[in-house]
């Protein structure tokens, strides 16, 4: 039986274990950015290599697009000029490769042309979310593109890349050629599977022809498109067999999903661990080349299982290694239990895709700051009192203690976690409890004095007389402006997750851009309730990114959940819920409702901070007590505060 820690050779590279960190944008830097961004970029990847992950996929590198002058491409990764042709590309890549090599890793360049929106095999759509018809490439443009891939790969080789990976999945133009759904051509590049494979084959051959030295070339492919009109397992096997027979590639990196729907290739918690590893194994029967599987491998035990089951030769782990760069190292030391768990909140995606904020991780505020090194120990320890044991409070307390401060934390409840502990009761949020438990162990190991059952008031805080007071008292459920909310069958999302009785027919009123309303709806639907979600916003969950929402809505729909869009709650009158369209004002109603659940966000609980203002020299307010936001906001505020507490 093969083990995760058995060595393997892939083309020209050799590894002493089988965990890979596949390509992903992020690292909060840019290969071609300003010097500080480049340092960030390198530090992100080097830190993971130094912690034992020898093969890191690097960031996506965009191929130039054949566009008419002035066309401004949109969509994931759509770039007119691409990355390879930017001045300084080879020098920067060579320096990045040098640093990876010094750390003991391999340098990979993933070639991406994901902006399927401007160019495509046919003027058609790939899915149900983006509805901008692309330009269908003509034969001249395709020849140009094939040459461009070859020239670009040669530049990557000049930059000392060890691996060239072609991104032929995830809505890339290369996948669009492979897929019968998006490739409707009637020439030599469309129709039969062999014709649809032609462009990718020519691209691979152009790369081999342009790079004289030995180099590893791999294909990232979708095993099964899982969409009507797309290709499935059998055609994937044909692809693998054909490329294997031609001897032009060295490995296949396989996953399932697209970048807009269900399933998504960055699968949320609504899917199982390594859900498609067995399918990947079936695809792998068509080749004797190494197969890499990625998709919800969230811990070393799962990674081990994928390899032990023979489902893949290599296992790709992204989010768990974003959250815990030392995952592999800890496992080698027999300390995997100390690994900071990725809990699948998807803030690493949402921040960039939805809010256009820098890349970050909800549970690890050091992500994206690797180039700064750890927060330094302080020369003079200060006494710090943290009020509130939710995400912001626990993170402040832990980081401050790690810097050498003397920290105590007071919590009103008899456990840590605050509102996150409540949210963790929803079935799709179950992993949240892992991080709360990890935080508790971290505080314990750091010697932070945690006192439970303390309903802190200003007298007690002032009597304590600490140098610094941090108020992280969280938030309380917000109620909408509507009549009839004092009836017993009107509950908040918090009530429901804390176990309040709920009738069969439930209406969830969603006035929270975060995923909370859908998490509650999903939870109730899973428990057999007939759930209707009423939302006033254009989308049911505006802050949930497109990689995540499809999985949630698919399960909700399959379990009978229904959405009522663009409506607000006017009043609850016994079993009748009165609503109005938010745009036209048109009134309408839902009848025979047993329970109304208000998932309407939260209002800050900042009274203690107000009472202490001017009476404590170093007083701070953060997290939901300042303004309720995503989890990542709380941990990043904690980091920023502690970084300044010298």
Ligand X SMILES: Cc1cc2nc3c(=O)[nH]c(=O)nc-3n(C[C@H](O)[C@H](O)[C@H](O)COP(=O)(O)O)c2cc1C
Nearer to ligand X, 256 or 436 (CB): 256
- Residue 120 contacts which entry, ligand SF4, ligand X, none (Cβ below 5-8 A, type-dependent): none
Q: Which of residues 106, 265, 410, 626 is near ligand X by CB under 6 A? A: 265
- Residue 297 contacts which entry, ligand SF4, ligand X, none (Cβ below 5-8 A, type-dependent): ligand X
Size of the site for ligand X (CB under 6 A): 24
- Residue 641 contacts which entry, ligand X, ligand SF4, none (Cβ below 5-8 A, type-dependent): none
Q: At what angle do helices 89-103 and 139-158 cross, to 10 degrees?
A: 50
Nearer to ligand X, 258 or 439 (CB): 258
C-alpha 152/C-alpha 61 separation (Å) is: 10
Q: Given the DSSP bridges, would you call strands 587-590 and 576-581 parallel, antiparallel or unpaired? A: antiparallel
Phi first, then psi, for residue 392 (nearest 5°) are -65, -45
- Residue 347 contacts which entry, ligand X, ligand SF4, none (Cβ below 5-8 A, type-dependent): ligand SF4
Nearer to ligand SF4, 349 or 533 (CB): 349
C-alpha 359/C-alpha 340 separation (Å) is: 18
Nearer to ligand SF4, 262 or 323 (CB): 323
- Using CA atoms, how far residue 219 sits from 121, 412, 533, 535, in Å, is 19, 53, 41, 42
Q: How far is the CB of 546 from ligand SF4 (least distance, A)?
A: 15
Which distant-in-sequence residues (6+ apart) come within 8 Å of 1 by Cβ? 308, 310
Q: Which of residues 303, 317, 399, 598 is near ligand X by CB under 6 A? A: 317
C-alpha 436/C-alpha 440 separation (Å) is: 6
Nearer to ligand SF4, 142 or 348 (CB): 348
3-class SS string, 97-166? HHHHHHHCCEEEEEEECCCCCCEECCCCCCCCCCCCCCEECCHHHHHHHHHHHHHHHHHHHHCCCCEEEE
Q: Which of residues 161, 164, 348, 632 is near ligand X by CB under 6 A? A: 348
> Residues in the chain, how many?
646
Which residues here bind ligand SF4, judged by CB under 6 A? 319, 322-323, 342-348, 361-363
The mark string for 417-446 relative to ligand X (x by CB under 6 A, - otherwise) is ------------------------------
Nearer to ligand SF4, 353 or 479 (CB): 353
Q: Which of residues 8, 294, 448, 606 is near ligand X by CB under 6 A? A: 294
Which distant-in-sequence residues (6+ apart) come within 8 Å of 114 by Cβ? 60, 62, 75, 76, 77, 78, 167, 170, 171, 172, 173, 259
Nearer to ligand SF4, 215 or 362 (CB): 362
Q: Distance between terminal CA atoms of the chain?
A: 52
The mark string for 106-145 relative to ligand X (x by CB under 6 A, - otherwise) is ----x-----------------------------------
C-alpha 325/C-alpha 592 separation (Å) is: 51
| Contact of 321 with 361, CB cutoff 8 Å | no
DSSP state of 600: -
Q: Does 318 bind ligand X (CB under 6 A)?
A: yes
Q: Does 255 bind ligand X (CB under 6 A)?
A: yes
Question: Six-digit token pair at 2?
Answer: 């093969």
Looking at 129-137, 295-303, 434-442, 553-561, which segment touches ligand X (CB under 6 A)?
Answer: 295-303
Nearer to ligand SF4, 149 or 547 (CB): 547
How many Cβ atoms from other residues are within 10 Å of residue 492's Cβ? 22
Closest CA to 44 of 359, 261, 316, 505: 359
Q: How far is the CB of 393 from ligand SF4 (least distance, A)?
A: 18
- Residue 48 contacts which entry, ligand SF4, ligand X, none (Cβ below 5-8 A, type-dependent): none
Q: Does 349 bind ligand X (CB under 6 A)?
A: yes
Q: Does 549 bind ligand X (CB under 6 A)?
A: no
Q: How far is the CB of 632 from ligand SF4 (least distance, A)?
A: 6
C-alpha 533/C-alpha 518 separation (Å) is: 8
Nearer to ligand SF4, 109 or 322 (CB): 322
DSSP state of 326: T
Nearer to ligand X, 130 or 512 (CB): 130
Q: Does 550 bind ligand X (CB under 6 A)?
A: no
Q: How far is the CB of 580 from ligand X (least distance, A)?
A: 39
C-alpha 333/C-alpha 301 separation (Å) is: 14
Question: Six-digit token pair at 340?
Answer: 């900071």
Q: Which of residues 17, 64, 170, 636 is near ligand X by CB under 6 A? A: 170
Nearer to ligand SF4, 431 or 526 (CB): 431
Q: At what angle do helices 391-402 and 432-446 cross, to 10 degrees?
A: 30
The mark string for 5-24 relative to ligand X (x by CB under 6 A, - otherwise) is -----------------xxx
Looking at 290-298, 434-442, 445-453, 520-528, which segment touches ligand X (CB under 6 A)?
Answer: 290-298
Q: Catalog residues that contact ligand X under the rule CB under 6 A.
A: 22-26, 60, 110, 167, 170, 220, 255, 265-266, 294-297, 316-320, 348-349
């Amino acid at each position: 039986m093969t083990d995760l820690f058995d060595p393997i050779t892939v083309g020209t590279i050799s590894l002493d274990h089988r965990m890979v960190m596949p390509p992903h944008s992020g690292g909060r830097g840019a290969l071609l950015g300003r010097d500080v961004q480049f340092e960030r970029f390198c530090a992100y990847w080097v830190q993971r290599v130094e912690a034992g992950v020898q093969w890191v996929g690097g960031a996506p590198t965009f191929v130039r697009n054949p566009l008419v002058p002035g066309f401004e491409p949109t969509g994931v990764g759509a770039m007119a000029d691409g990355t390879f042709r930017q001045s300084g590309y080879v020098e920067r890549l060579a320096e990045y490769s040098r640093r990876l090599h010094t750390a003991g890793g391999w340098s990979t360049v993933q070639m991406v042309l994901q902006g399927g929106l401007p160019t495509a095999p046919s003027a058609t759509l790939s899915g149900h979310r983006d509805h901008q018809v692309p330009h269908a490439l003509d034969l001249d443009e395709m020849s140009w593109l094939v040459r461009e891939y070859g020239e670009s790969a040669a530049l990557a080789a000049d930059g000392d890349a060890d691996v060239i990976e072609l991104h032929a999945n995830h809505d890339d133009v290369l996948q669009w050629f492979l897929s019968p759904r998006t490739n409707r051509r009637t020439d030599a590049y469309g129709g039969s599977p062999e014709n649809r494979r032609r462009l990718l084959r020519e691209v691979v051959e152009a790369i081999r022809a342009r790079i004289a030295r030995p180099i590893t070339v791999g294909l990232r492919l979708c095993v099964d498109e899982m969409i009507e009109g797309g290709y499935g397992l059998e055609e994937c096997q044909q692809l693998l067999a054909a490329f294997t027979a031609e001897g032009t590639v060295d490995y296949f990196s396989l996953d399932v999903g697209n970048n807009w729907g269900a399933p998504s290739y960055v699968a949320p918690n609504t899917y199982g661990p390594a859900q498609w590893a067995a399918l990947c194994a079936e695809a792998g029967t068509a080749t004797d080349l190494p197969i890499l599987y990625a998709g919800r491998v969230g811990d070393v035990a799962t990674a081990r299982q994928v390899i032990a089951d023979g489902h893949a030769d290599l296992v790709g782990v992204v989010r768990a290694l974003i959250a815990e760069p030392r995952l592999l190292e800890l496992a080698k030391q027999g300390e995997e239990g100390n690994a900071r768990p990725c809990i699948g909140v998807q803030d690493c995606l949402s921040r960039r895709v939805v809010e256009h904020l820098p890349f970050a991780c909800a549970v690890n505020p050091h992500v994206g700051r690797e180039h700064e090194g750890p927060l330094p120990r302080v020369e003079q320890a200060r006494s710090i009192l943290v009020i509130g044991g939710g995400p912001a409070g626990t993170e402040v307390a832990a980081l401050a203690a790690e810097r050498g401060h003397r920290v105590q934390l007071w919590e009103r409840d008899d456990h840590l976690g605050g509102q996150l502990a409540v949210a963790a009761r929803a079935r799709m949020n179950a992993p949240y409890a892992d991080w709360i438990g990890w935080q508790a162990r971290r505080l314990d190991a750091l010697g932070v004095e945690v006192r439970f059952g303390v309903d802190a008031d200003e007298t007690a805080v002032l009597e304590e007389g600490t140098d610094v007071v941090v108020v992280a008292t969280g938030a309380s459920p917000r109620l909408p402006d509507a009549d009839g909310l004092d009836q017993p069958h009107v509950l908040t999302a918090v009530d429901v997750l804390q176990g309040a009785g709920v009738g069969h027919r439930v209406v969830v009123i969603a006035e929270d851009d975060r995923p909370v309303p859908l998490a509650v709806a999903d939870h109730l639907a899973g428990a057999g309730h007939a759930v209707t979600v009423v939302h006033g916003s254009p989308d049911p969950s505006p802050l949930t990114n497109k990689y995540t929402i499809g999985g949630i809505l698919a399960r909700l729909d399959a379990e009978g959940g229904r959405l009522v869009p663009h409506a607000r709650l006017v009043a609850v009158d016994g079993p009748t819920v009165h609503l109005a369209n938010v745009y036209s004002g048109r009134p309408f109603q839902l009848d025979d409702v047993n329970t109304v659940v208000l998932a309407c966000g939260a209002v800050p609980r900042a009274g203690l901070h107000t009472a202490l203002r001017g009476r404590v020299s170093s007083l701070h307010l953060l997290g939901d007590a300042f303004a309720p936001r995503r989890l990542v906001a709380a941990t990043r505020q904690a980091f920023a505060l502690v970084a300044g507490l010298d």
